[in-house]
Chain A
Amino acid sequence: MKVGCHASSSIHAPRPRQFGDKMSAVCCCAHCDFLSLGMQDDHRLSTSELEKKYGTSIDKGLSSARAAEILARDGPNALTPPKATPEIVKFLKQMIGGFSILLWIGAAFSWISFGIQLAQGVDSAFDNLYLGVVLALVVILTGIFAYYQEAKSTNIMASFSKMIPQQALVLRDAEKKELPADQLVVGDIVEIKGGDRIPADIRLIFTQGCKVDNSSLTGESEPQSRSCDFTHENPLETRNIAFYSTTCVEGTATGIVINTGDRTIIGRIASLASGVGNEKTPIAIEIEHFVYLVAGVAISIGVLFFIISVSMRYKILDSIIFLIGIIVANVPEGLLATVTVSLSLTAKRMAKKNCLVKNLEAVETLGSTSIICSDKTGTLTQNRMTVAHLWFDNQIYSADTSEDQTTQSFDQSSPSWAALSKIVTLCNRAEFRPGQENLPIMKRVVVGDASETALLKFSEVILGDVMNIRAQNKKVAEIPFNSTNKFQLSIHETDDPHDKRFLLVMKGAPERILERCSTIMINGKEEPLDSEKAEAFQTRGKMLNARAPWGRANPDVLSSFCHLYLPENEFPETFQFDTDSMNFPTSNLCFVGLLSMIDPPRSTVPDAVSKCRSAGIKVIMVTGDHPITAKAIAKSVGIISATSETVEDIAKRLNIPVEQVNRREATAAVVNGMELKEMSAEQLDEILREHAEIVFARTSPQQKLIIVEGCQRQGAVVAVTGDGVNDSPALKKADIGIAMGIAGSDAAKNAADMVLLDDNFASIVTGVEEGRLIFDNLKKTIAYTLTKNIAELCPFLIYIIASIPMPIGTITILFIDLGTDIIPSVALAYEKAESDIMNRRPRNKRRDRLVNEQLAVYSYLQIGIMQSVGAFVTYFTVYAEQGFLPSTLLGVRVDWESNAINDFEDSYGQQWTKYQRTYLQWTGYTAFFVSITIQQVADLIIRKTRRNSIFRQGLFRNKVIWVGIFSQIGIALILTYGLGHVTALNFTPLRFQYWFVAVPFAILIWVYDEIRKLLIRRYPGSWWDKNMYY
Chain B
Amino acid sequence: MATLNEKKTCSERMADFRRFVWNPETKLFLGRSLINWVWISLYYVAFYVVMSGVFALSIYCLMRTINPYEPDYQDQLKSPGVTIRPDVYGSRGLQIYYNVSDNKTWEGLVTTLHTFLTAYTPAAQHLNINCTNNTYFIQETFDGPNKTKLSCKFTSDMLQNCSGITDPTFGYPEGKPCFIIKMNRIIKFYPGRGIAPRVNCTYVGEESRPLEVDYYPVNGTFNLHYFPYYGKKAQPSYSNPLVAVKFLNITKNVELKIVCKIIGAGITFDNVYDPYEGKVEFKLKIED
Contact = CB atoms under 8 A, between A and B. Distances in A.
A659 interface: no
A280 B184 CA distance: 65
Given A862-B47, A910-B184, A873 B58 contact: yes
A730 to B, nearest CB: 12
A881 B58 contact: no
A534 to B, nearest CB: 59
Interface in B31-60: 31, 36, 39-40, 43-44, 47-48, 51, 54-55, 58-59
A899 interface: yes
Given A869-B51, A903-B182, A912 B2 contact: no
B245 to A, nearest CB: 17
Contacts of B5: 279
Dominant secondary structure at the B interface: loop
B187 to A, nearest CB: 6
A616 interface: no
A9 interface: no
Contacts of A1027: 40, 43
Interface stretch (A318-326, A689-697, A732-740, A956-964): A732-740
B153 to A, nearest CB: 17
B87 A900 contact: yes
A123 B93 CA distance: 9
B1 interface: yes
B88 to A, nearest CB: 9
Nearest to B61: A873
A885 B66 contact: yes
A717 interface: yes
A647 to B, nearest CB: 33
A282 B274 contact: no
A903 B184 contact: yes
Given A872-B55, A881-B71, A908-B231, A1023 B39 contact: yes
A866 B51 contact: yes
Contact of A913 (B58, B66, B81): B81
Given A882-B71, A885-B66, A733 B91 contact: no
B233 A912 contact: no
Contact of B76 (A873, A916, A1004): A916
Nearest to A870: B58
A234 to B, nearest CB: 33
A157 to B, nearest CB: 14
B44 to A, nearest CB: 7
Contacts of A880: 62-63, 66
A876 interface: yes
B113 to A, nearest CB: 16
A900 B89 contact: yes
B186 interface: yes
A279 B185 contact: no
B11 interface: no
Given A861-B44, A883-B74, A919-B76, A912 B91 contact: no
A733 B4 contact: no
A935 to B, nearest CB: 14
B77 A717 contact: no
A886 B59 contact: yes
A898 B148 CA distance: 32
A916 B75 CA distance: 9
A285 B4 contact: yes
Interface string A730-767: 00111111000000000000000100000000000000
A721 to B, nearest CB: 15
Interface string B264-288: 0000000101111100000000000
A1026 to B, nearest CB: 9
Nearest to A1000: B58
A915 interface: yes
B4 A845 contact: yes
B4 A865 contact: no
A1004 B74 CA distance: 31
Contacts of B184: 902-903, 910-913
B229 interface: yes
Contacts of B59: 873, 876, 886
B2 A909 contact: no
B185 A915 contact: no
B6 interface: yes
Interface string B65-88: 010011111111100111100010
A210 interface: no
A18 interface: no
B283 to A, nearest CB: 14
Contacts of B47: 862
B238 interface: yes
A122 interface: yes
Contacts of A902: 81-83, 184, 276
B166 interface: no
Contacts of B54: 869, 1004
B118 to A, nearest CB: 16
A392 to B, nearest CB: 53
Nearest to A1024: B43
A279 B74 contact: no
A237 interface: no
Count chain A CB atoms within 10 A of each CB in B3, B59, B72, B82 and give the residue with the most.
B3
Interface in A886-920: 886, 899-900, 902-903, 905-917, 919-920
Contact of A909 (B66, B92, B238): B238
Nearest to B274: A915
Contacts of B126: none
Interface in A999-1017: 1004
Given A881-B71, A883-B71, A916-B76, A733 B231 contact: no
Contacts of B6: 280, 285
Contacts of B275: 915
A359 to B, nearest CB: 7
Interface in B88-146: 89, 91-92
A991 interface: yes
A717 B58 CA distance: 52
B44 A876 contact: no
Interface in A851-877: 853, 861-862, 865-866, 869, 872-873, 876-877
A279 B87 contact: no
Interface in A393-444: none
B62 A737 contact: no
B232 interface: yes
A911 B3 CA distance: 67
A923 interface: yes
Given A873-B59, A991-B75, A736 B2 contact: yes
A717 B3 CA distance: 10
A909 B232 contact: yes
B258 to A, nearest CB: 16
A733 B3 contact: yes
Contact of B63 (A282, A365, A885): A885
A271 interface: no
Contact of B73 (A278, A753, A905, A991): A991
Given A882-B75, A903-B81, A1004-B54, A909 B4 contact: no
25 contacts: A279-B1, A280-B4, A282-B4, A733-B3, A861-B44, A865-B48, A865-B51, A869-B55, A876-B62, A881-B72, A883-B71, A900-B87, A902-B276, A903-B83, A907-B232, A910-B184, A910-B229, A910-B231, A911-B186, A912-B81, A915-B274, A916-B77, A919-B76, A991-B73, A1023-B36
Given A866-B51, A991-B73, 19 more contacts: A120-B91, A123-B91, A278-B1, A279-B4, A281-B2, A281-B4, A365-B2, A717-B2, A734-B1, A735-B4, A862-B47, A865-B48, A880-B62, A882-B71, A886-B62, A913-B81, A915-B275, A1023-B36, A1027-B43
Interface of B: 1-6, 31, 36, 39-40, 43-44, 47-48, 51, 54-55, 58-59, 62-63, 66, 69-77, 80-83, 87, 89, 91-92, 182, 184-187, 229, 231-233, 235, 238, 271, 273-277
- Ranked nearest first, the 8 interchain pairs of A and B with the lowest CB-CB distance are A909-B232, A913-B81, A911-B184, A915-B274, A121-B91, A735-B2, A883-B71, A900-B89
